[in-house]
Amino acid sequence: MSDQRPAPAKPALSRRPALYPLQRAVRRYFGFSRRETSGFVVLVLLMVLWLWLPALLRPVLPAYNPSADQRLLNTLAAELAARRTARPQFASRYPRRTYPARPRVPQVALAPFNPNALSALDWQARGLPAWLAERLVKYRDAVGGFRAKEQLRKAYGLSDTTYARLAPYLQLPDQLPPGRPARMPAVSPASIRTASRSKSRPAASRANRPALRPST
């Protein structure tokens, strides 16, 4: 009989886990032991699972259909419109006011002029707003006409800049003569408004007012 020696057993091939390259890289980078590396990898996997868990467990919501909400909005709008139509007294109690548009006055180049001969439109043509032009005309009528530039300078609402622009063209002396005071004292805006109202009032209403008689 020939000597037959048994063939040497082949060493079993060790199956390395799929995460072995990752574990080896972690061990080399951090200097962990084998047990620490395994725990670190498990901890990272748990953290990733925790981040993805809400998205995985979130219920699937149905698609939003805005038709129901739109019908509700249309119903509410119709009810509001019906309420406004049923109570028209609010619209008649507060009618909308309409203001006439002021005509655009063409501007003229400044030249020497007499302020006592200008109308409100003439003042507007020289760069003054409509309200200030009307105020200057009323002020001139109240004081009996401008006799010096200083009277115009004291007009209520006339700025120093506007007066400085118009003063060189006013055909008036700068000041009143020293021995000749003004006929009337300075007029307040309230008196100007009162004078304008009395002029606009019908003559019949002023005639029917009883005259004041001194008591005896």
In this predicted structure, what is the pLDDT of residue 37? 83
Position with higher pLDDT, 99 vs 158: 158
Say which amino acid occupies 51: L
**Each residue's pLDDT tens digit, 35-60:** 888 888 888 889 999 998 888 887 77
Establish if 182 belongs to a structural domain.
Answer: yes
Position with higher pLDDT, 158 vs 98: 158
Q: Are the C-beta atoms of 149 and 175 separated by less than 8 Å?
A: yes
Dihedral class, residue 14 (left if φ above 0, else alpha if ψ from -120 to 50, else beta): beta
In this predicted structure, what is the pLDDT of residue 70? 93
Beta strands in the chain (DSSP E): none
CATH of the domain at 161: 1.10.150.310
Establish if 63 belongs to a structural domain.
Answer: no
pLDDT at 163 > cutoff 60: yes
For the question of whether the overall pTM of this predicted structure is more than 0.85, the answer is no
Q: Are the C-beta atoms of 158 and 132 separated by less than 8 Å?
A: yes
Dihedral class, residue 127 (left if φ above 0, else alpha if ψ from -120 to 50, else beta): left
Q: How confident is the model at residue 194 (pLDDT cuts 50, 70, 90)?
A: low
Question: For the chain, what is the domain count?
Answer: 2
Mean pLDDT of the chain: 76
Q: Residue 161 corresponds to which tokens in the numbers above?
A: 């800049």
In this predicted structure, what is the pLDDT of residue 138? 93
Which residues touch 150 (CB under 8 Å, ≥6 apart)? Answer: 174, 175, 176
Over residues 19-26, the mean pLDDT reads 75
Establish if 86 belongs to a structural domain.
Answer: no
Whether residues 53 and 120 share a domain: the answer is: no
Over residues 80-102, the mean pLDDT reads 71
- The helices-and-strands tally (H runs, E runs) of the chain is 10, 0
- DSSP conformation class of 148: S
Establish if 144 belongs to a structural domain.
Answer: yes
Establish if 31 belongs to a structural domain.
Answer: yes
Establish if 170 belongs to a structural domain.
Answer: yes
Domain that holds residue 30: 20-57
